[in-house]
Amino acid sequence: MRIKICGFTSVDNANQAAMLDIDAIGLVFYDKSPRYVNVGTAIDIVNVLPPFVNRVGLFVNSDSNFIDKVLCKVPLDTLQFHGDEPAHECAQYTMPFIKALHMNVQTNIKKMADEYHQASGLLLDVFNKDIYGGTGENFDWRLARVDINLPIILAGGLNSNTVDNAINQVHPYAVDVSSGVESEKGIKDINKIKQFIQKANL
């Protein structure tokens, strides 16, 4: 299973995690998140990553000038839009992007897959009226059993106790986790990551 671990704030922590069997790391450029990284720290983190680990920059309703500024300085591979960004805004950066959907019973994934057809994938996270993401909460995975033309990245409240069940129900392209592998907000617990990787690959 492909695995993205999101929300690193420290160089050593990101480097240790990236040496494990993971495919992507996420950097949160959203200043209301406890996992926010500034541009300087983000540069330091991406510089220590080994090859073939995808560097994902997460944004929430950011101004395009801010995103351009980050892109000029931080070598990212993929953009993750985790707010209410319309499709044409996500597609304007000539870079691969994934779009988060905030899942509830009303979410029409097929319709959103048409709307965001330029995305590399759709990330399905829980809907929470107060927070855009990193909630540690899951949604009803039965809602994610759809047949669409885009890869599905499953997120929201995953941890080593739940990820195997989630994968069995949804059969996603990849999983994304933040809170579920932390010792405190923004600091990942390497043992929890190892357990997560093991359970995701059962």
Ligand X SMILES: O=C(O)c1ccccc1N[C@@H]1O[C@H](COP(=O)(O)O)[C@@H](O)[C@H]1O
Residue whose token pair is 């995808």: 54
| Closest to 23 (Cα-Cα) out of 53, 55, 58, 56 | 53
Based on the shown chain and the rule CB under 6 A, indicate whether residue 82 belongs to the binding site for ligand X: yes
Beta-strand runs (E) in the chain: 2-6, 24-28, 54-59, 78-81, 97-103, 121-126, 152-154, 174-177, 182-184, 187-188
Amino acid at 38: N
Based on the shown chain and the rule CB under 6 A, indicate whether residue 13 belongs to the binding site for ligand X: no
Based on the shown chain and the rule CB under 6 A, indicate whether residue 57 belongs to the binding site for ligand X: no
Q: Which listed residue (42, 74, 102, 125) binds ligand X by CB under 6 A?
A: 125
Based on the shown chain and the rule CB under 6 A, indicate whether residue 33 belongs to the binding site for ligand X: yes
Q: Site mask, ligand X, residues 148-187, x = CB under 6 A? A: -------xxxx-----------------xxxxx-------
Tell me the catalytic residues: 6, 125
| Contact positions with ligand X (CB under 6 A) in 92-111 | none
CB 9, min distance to ligand X, A? 10
Which chain residues interact with ligand X by CB under 6 A?
6-7, 26, 28, 30, 33, 35, 58, 60, 82, 123, 125, 132-136, 155-158, 176-180
